[in-house]
Amino acid sequence: MTRGLVLSALVLGGCVAISCGSTQDTTANLASAEVVVGLERTPCYGRCPVYSLRVLSDGHATLDVGRFCDEAFGRSLAQGEHTAHVDVGVWNMVAEEARAMGFDTLAQRYDDPRVMDLPSATITIQGQTVMNRYGGPNLNDLYTRIERLVGRMDWQATPEDAR
């Protein structure tokens, strides 16, 4: 009987150790993935789309949908957190387009805190982040390109946000 308990404890301990090891590996893989493209749009007093997108180099993507996103994405997505697995090659092409537009020459911040009721767009392209709210370059074509790609992706609402 004691021998059976010891054997059971060893098997259970081994399963826990293996399970913990794979969790650490997964966490390490997610931590090592870099943002290929990210875009966050903030609210205004009107109908500005509000969302936050992150596409990682390992193909994982997250999208936190706020309000007024239907027009930007060309489809309706429920508010809340969504995930998808994406073709990173497509998003690397977006990054290349951004570089061709001179994205890598932009300042980190374009803003004037005295100006009210303007939404901001914070865009990240392969590690470079630019916050654009006031007085910055016109990146609307780039934002639209990203939003149209978002609209074509197969998003899955996270369980706690599924309705």
pTM above 0.85, yes or no: no
Q: Is 61 exposed, middle or buried (0-12, 13-18, 19+ CB in 10 A)?
A: buried
Query: Per-residue DSSP letters for 84-142?
Result: EE--HHHHHHHHHHHHHTTGGGS-SEE--TTS-S---EEEEETTEEEEESSS----HHH
Least confident of 35-44, 61-70, 152-161: 152-161
pLDDT in tens, 91-147: 999 999 999 999 999 999 999 999 988 999 999 999 999 999 999 999 999 999 999
Which residues are CB-neighbours of 86 under 8 A, at least 6 positions away?
A: 55, 59, 60, 61, 153
Contact 78, 161 (CB under 8 A): yes
- Closest C-alpha to 49, from 144, 157, 149: 144
d(CA 151, CA 158) in angstroms, rounded, equals 17
Which residues are CB-neighbours of 6 under 8 A, at least 6 positions away?
A: none
Q: How confident is the model at residue 31 (pLDDT cuts 50, 70, 90)?
A: low
